[in-house]
């Protein structure tokens, strides 16, 4: 009986060791995530004179914004660095030049002191103009440091009163910088003109527009956007394609952002070793009004101009994005002892978007290009053929765990039967 107990204890110890071994990589991944720059969010609040209007839950728009901000500040995740910027908060006069410079950072972007931030918000009173464009430019500068997620949340009840610069063009300029800074907008008035302007700002940067009419809606939506910033995302690296392959940038595996004019073709290069597979995908965003018919092309070509493989997609009607992709497996070397030399593959990205003459063609359409180079199916292990890749060790560990668990369950069943017979 003692021997059996020792055997059971040993088996349980083995299972515990296996579980600990499987958990170790997850812990390592968590450490890597923790080493990244913290996500940054700046709340940009309209404090213009129109925020005195009393049409939200029986109170003023300013009162609703303050209450919502207090709830949001209580719920900000600890890992998020948050700041607050205002527009139209200090100048009550009629001089447009002065009023259109009226934007200031109320609370700097960084680790949040909730008491200080709430105290700063409590001092706000509806005052002046609505310089949305200058406020967005200043907020982009507030968030220019770091490689983590960056998000601007703009809350306004009216159209910009200071154009130029046009807020929508400012948003496109921010997007063209390739820093993957997203602007989300919230409108406090269900007005068609306001909706068009705030929607245009959001769409230009890949953000969202939301119309809110109640305090709880405002607080809930801002909380969602702040929480979304805390979620880990891949941030594209800014690159610039060339007019021909010989001048194209040589890209490593990763996510890249570029801009492409209507009906333009741009080139990039990737090195692929024998026994490896190139996987590429491209997404082109329609961040402005476009004609009904459009398409996107992604081609892999040799340096000498021979097409290897292509992917394409087309559509018509209203769209936000259109994507396509391709795969190119490079055959492994024969067993001749020759040193593996990479093949340079040229990637061509083209689009067939067009737009009415009234639509500006600059900056170009946002392009997101993903490059992966992985083990080719015929060069990887048999397990990789089933999509496990380099995770064979995990399969082996799970198989061993199942085997030991089965043996343990069988032994326990036999032991129970033996005990019952001896009674």
Q: Which helix (H) or strand (E) holds 221?
A: helix 215-230
Could you tell me which CATH number the domain at 38-230 has?
3.40.50.410
Give the Cα separation of 11 and 13 in Å (integer): 5
Give the Cα separation of 187 and 337 in Å (integer): 66
Give the Cα separation of 373 and 279 in Å (integer): 6
Locate all alpha helices (DSSP H) within 238-334, ordered by sequence: none
Give the Cα separation of 79 and 226 in Å (integer): 11
In the chain, which segments carry CATH 2.60.120.380? 237-382
Token pair, residue 87, equals 């527009």
Question: Which segments of the chain have a pLDDT < 70?
Answer: 1-36, 178-179, 232-235, 335-338, 378-395, 417, 419-423
What pLDDT sits at residue 231?
77
Locate all alpha helices (DSSP H) within 81-207, ordered by sequence: 96-99, 114-122, 132-142, 167-176, 192-204
CATH of 237-382, one of 3.90.1150.10, 3.30.70.1430, 2.102.10.10, 2.60.120.380: 2.60.120.380
What pLDDT sits at residue 153?
96
Residue pLDDT, tens place only, 372-408: 999 887 544 443 334 444 455 566 777 777 777 777 7
What pLDDT sits at residue 147?
73
Residue pLDDT, tens place only, 44-68: 999 999 999 999 999 999 999 999 9
In the chain, which segments carry CATH 3.40.50.410? 38-230
The CA-to-CA distance between both ends of the chain, in Å, stands at 15
Give the Cα separation of 118 and 70 in Å (integer): 6
Which pTM value belongs to this model?
0.56
Facing residues of 150 across strands? 40, 181
63 Cβ contact partners less than 8 Å away, ≥ 6 residues apart: 56
């Amino acid at each position: 009986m003692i021997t059996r107990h020792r055997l059971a204890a040993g088996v349980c110890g083995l299972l515990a060791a296996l579980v600990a071994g499987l958990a170790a990589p997850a812990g390592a991944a968590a450490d890597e995530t923790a080493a990244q720059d913290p996500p940054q969010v700046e709340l940009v609040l309209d404090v213009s004179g129109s925020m005195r209007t009393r049409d939200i839950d029986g109170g003023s728009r300013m009162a609703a914004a303050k209450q919502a901000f207090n709830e949001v500040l209580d719920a900000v995740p600890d890992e998020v660095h948050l700041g607050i910027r205002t527009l139209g908060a200090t100048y009550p006069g009629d001089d447009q030049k002065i009023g259109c410079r009226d934007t200031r950072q109320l609370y700097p972007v960084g680790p949040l002191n909730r008491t200080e931030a709430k105290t700063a918000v409590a001092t706000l009173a509806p005052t002046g103009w609505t310089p949305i464009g200058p406020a967005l430019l200043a907020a982009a500068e507030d968030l220019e440091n770091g490689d983590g997620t960056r998000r601007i949340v703009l809350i306004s009840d009216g159209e910009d009163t200071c154009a130029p610069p046009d807020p929508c063009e400012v948003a496109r300029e921010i997007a063209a910088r390739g820093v993957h800074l997203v602007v989300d907008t919230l409108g406090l008035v269900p007005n068609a003109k306001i909706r068009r302007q705030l929607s245009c700002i959001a769409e230009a940067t890949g953000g969202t527009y939301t119309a809110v009419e109640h305090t709880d809606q405002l607080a809930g939506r801002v909380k969602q956007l702040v929480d979304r910033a805390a979620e880990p995302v891949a941030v594209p690296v800014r690159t610039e394609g060339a007019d021909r392959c010989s001048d194209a940038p040589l890209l490593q595996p990763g996510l890249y952002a570029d801009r492409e004019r209507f009906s333009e073709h741009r080139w990039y290069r990737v090195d692929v070793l024998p026994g490896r597979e190139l996987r590429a995908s491209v997404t082109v965003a329609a961040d402005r009004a476009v004609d009904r018919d459009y398409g996107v092309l992604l081609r892999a070509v040799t340096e000498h101009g021979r097409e290897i493989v292509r992917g394409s997609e087309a559509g018509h009607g209203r769209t936000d994005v259109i994507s396509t992709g391709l795969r190119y497996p490079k055959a492994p070397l024969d067993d001749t002892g020759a040193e593996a030399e990479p093949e340079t593959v040229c990637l061509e990205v083209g689009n067939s978007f067009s737009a009415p003459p009234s639509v500006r063609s600059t900056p170009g359409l946002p392009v997101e290009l993903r490059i992966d180079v992985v083990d080719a199916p015929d060069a990887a292990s048999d397990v990789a053929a089933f999509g496990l890749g380099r995770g064979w060790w995990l399969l082996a560990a799970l198989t061993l765990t199942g085997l030991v668990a089965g043996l343990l369950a069988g032994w326990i069943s036999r032991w129970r039967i033996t005990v019952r017979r001896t009674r």
